[in-house]
């Protein structure tokens, strides 16, 4: 029996659908003049020609594709491991996990950071649980093999009973490790290039924010029932704001935003302190924008200018009063004083960057299940000059739904399991990506640069075994 062809829209039906879907006309938000000076570049990068092909849904559901990601991408790139502020002294360490691996990031006596596989070379026992702590050495609790903070053997009990002697590697297997932006990075690839080269142009863009001056305010890991890429996608476009976050339409401008794609990484610049053209101009200042004003030290009751001037006036006020409040905005342009400069550091670090705070998400794959992931939320606040840094928050770990992580993130979290379930449906052929989702298409382009053109076919073969 032949398969019945799927009906397609005629040209007139396409035209009618476009008319019903037409975006309202609006005045573009004022932006600073593009600059390539010492601060964050604001100039628009040329849009890459990535075509309009459908993205296969199997990339989100296939165990074979998950395996190829591990073999060809996760084990090749630089990865975010933790905060430098968590390891200030020799012997301080971070134990972090990626996929099936556990890694020790250890501060050395000379101040450097080094990375080691968190596994005893005797019979594979983990040396330390996930988290942050300090140690004079790493002693395996199984048979008491002991390693120094430099990874070298300190003691092997009853070594004379091993006719082959100690393992010839002299200690824990080491991995590349480096720091940038107040963060510790590592790679599972011993042949990986320099971190600065991998991150480019991110340091030039984000160093003006002075991340090391920011203090951690939240440290949360949540298990989500979705593929890690579905989470990356959710934070890589503003198209979903009008669907999932309607309250934000009275807080930000979600249309015609600037999208910039670089070699590996990408960003968009989204104006805050204004309203979306999707909604009518409100009769008074919306409550979310009042919050922006109060945080900047402005009294909404005293403001009698038109609403369209408010974003600019918040920028002017912060520029005028920042230094007196102990906040250094000298390397930031005016738009950075209000707006969200939103970056993806490939493959799995999403940053909502603001003048006074940072929200960072780390999306980690489940070791074996493409329908699950780990979602890390780290939030930071700029500490005014001369002020005492707040105490570090305790790390929290829970499953989605056990606790709230804030209205906006709860809305994303509630939606993503349905997205993942839909990826398995016979009614979906693949991802139908529009120009507002250019960052998603660019992300897949970079991913496939690592996995190779044969990855989709190779994953299908692995699944069929």
Domain presence at residue 259: yes
Query: pLDDT band at 33, cuts 50/70/90?
Result: low
Q: Do residue 384 and residue 354 come from a single domain?
A: yes
Q: Do residue 266 and residue 411 come from a single domain?
A: yes
Owning domain of residue 175: 78-191
Chain-wide mean pLDDT for the chain?
94
How many residues are given for the chain? Answer: 465
Query: Looking at 58-67, 362-371, 399-408, which range is the least confident one?
Result: 399-408
Q: Average pLDDT of 96-116?
A: 98
pLDDT digits (tens, 9 = 90+) for 198-211: 999 999 999 999 99
Q: Which of 15-19, 131-135, 278-282 has the largest mean confidence?
A: 131-135
Check residue 35 and give its pLDDT.
57
pLDDT digits (tens, 9 = 90+) for 285-343: 999 999 999 999 999 999 999 999 999 999 999 999 999 999 999 999 999 999 999 99
* Cα–Cα distance measured from residue 77 to residue 345, given in angstroms and rounded to the nearest whole number: 11
Q: Do residue 274 and residue 184 come from a single domain?
A: no
Query: pLDDT band at 369, cuts 50/70/90?
Result: very high
Domain holding 177: CATH number? 2.102.10.10
Domain holding 407: CATH number? 3.90.380.10
Which of 417, 321, 452, 298 has the alpha carbon at shortest distance from 60?
417
User: Of 125, 156, 191, which residue constitutes the final position of a domain?
Assistant: 191
Q: Do residue 130 and residue 246 come from a single domain?
A: no
The answer, yes or no, to whether residue 283 has pLDDT greater than 80, is yes
Q: Do residue 101 and residue 179 come from a single domain?
A: yes
pTM check: above 0.85: yes
Q: Average pLDDT of 103-112?
A: 98
pLDDT digits (tens, 9 = 90+) for 114-143: 999 999 999 999 999 999 999 999 999 999
The answer, yes or no, to whether residue 36 has pLDDT greater than 70, is no
Q: Do residue 362 and residue 263 come from a single domain?
A: yes
Query: pLDDT band at 1, cuts 50/70/90?
Result: very low
Work out how many domains the chain is built from and give that number: 2
The answer, yes or no, to whether residue 2 has pLDDT greater than 60, is no
Cis peptide before 417 (omega within 30 of 0): no
Domain presence at residue 355: yes
Check residue 14 and give its pLDDT.
76
> What sign for the dihedral angle of Cα 183, 351, 28, 260?
positive
Query: Looking at 1-15, 229-243, 303-317, 388-402, which range is the least confident one?
Result: 1-15
Check residue 18 and give its pLDDT.
73
* Cα–Cα distance measured from residue 31 to residue 353, given in angstroms and rounded to the nearest whole number: 17
Q: Do residue 249 and residue 349 come from a single domain?
A: yes
**CA 236, 237, 242, 243: dihedral to nearest 10 degrees?**
-60
Q: Do residue 54 and residue 112 come from a single domain?
A: no
Q: Do residue 64 and residue 83 come from a single domain?
A: no
Check residue 173 and give its pLDDT.
97
């Amino acid at each position: 029996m032949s398969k019945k062809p799927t009906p397609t829209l005629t040209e007139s039906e396409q035209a009618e659908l476009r008319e019903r879907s037409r975006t309202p006309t609006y005045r573009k938000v004022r932006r600073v003049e593009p600059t390539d000076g010492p601060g964050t570049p604001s100039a628009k990068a040329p849009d890459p020609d990535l075509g309009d092909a459908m993205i296969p849904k199997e990339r989100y559901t296939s165990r074979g594709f998950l395996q190829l990601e591990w073999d060809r991408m996760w084990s090749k790139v630089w990865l975010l491991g933790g905060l430098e502020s968590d390891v200030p002294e020799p012997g301080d360490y971070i134990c972090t996990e990626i996929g099936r691996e556990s890694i020790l990031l250890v501060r050395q006596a000379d101040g450097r950071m080094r990375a080691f596989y968190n596994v005893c070379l005797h019979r594979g026992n983990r040396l330390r649980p996930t988290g942050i702590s300090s140690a004079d050495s790493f002693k395996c609790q199984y048979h008491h093999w002991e390693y120094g903070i430099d990874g070298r053997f300190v003691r092997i009990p009853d070594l004379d009973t091993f006719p082959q002697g100690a393992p010839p590697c002299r200690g824990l297997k080491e991995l590349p490790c480096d720091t940038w932006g107040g963060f510790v990075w590592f790679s599972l690839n011993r042949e990986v290039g320099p971190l600065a080269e991998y991150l480019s142009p991110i340091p030039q863009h984000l160093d003006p924010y002075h991340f090391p001056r920011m203090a951690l305010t939240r440290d949360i890991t949540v298990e989500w029932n979705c593929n890690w890429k579905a989470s990356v996608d959710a934070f890589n476009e503003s198209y979903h704001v009008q669907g999932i976050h309607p309250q934000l339409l009275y807080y930000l401008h979600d249309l015609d935003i600037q999208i910039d794609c670089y070699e590996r990484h990408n960003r968009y610049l989204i104006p805050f302190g204004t309203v979306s053209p999707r909604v009518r101009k409100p009769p008074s200042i919306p409550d979310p924008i009042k919050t922006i004003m109060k945080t900047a030290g402005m009294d909404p009751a005293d403001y009698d200018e038109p609403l369209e001037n408010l974003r600019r006036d918040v920028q002017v006020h912060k520029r005028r009063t920042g230094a007196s409040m102990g906040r250094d905005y000298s390397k930031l342009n005016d738009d950075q004083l209000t707006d969200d400069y939103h970056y993806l550091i490939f493959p799995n670090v999403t940053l909502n960057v603001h003048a006074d705070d940072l929200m960072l998400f780390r999306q980690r794959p489940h070791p074996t299940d493409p329908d699950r992931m780990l979602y890390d939320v780290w939030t930071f606040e700029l500490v005014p000059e001369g002020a005492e840094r707040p105490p570090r928050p305790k790390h929290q770990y829970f499953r989605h739904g056990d606790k709230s992580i804030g209205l906006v993130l709860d809305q994303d979290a509630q939606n993503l399991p349905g997205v993942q379930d839909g990826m398995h449906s016979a009614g979906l052929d693949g991802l139908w990506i529009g120009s507002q989702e250019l960052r998603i298409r660019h992300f897949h382009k970079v991913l496939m640069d690592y996995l190779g053109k044969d990855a989709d076919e190779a994953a299908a073969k692995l699944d069929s075994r």
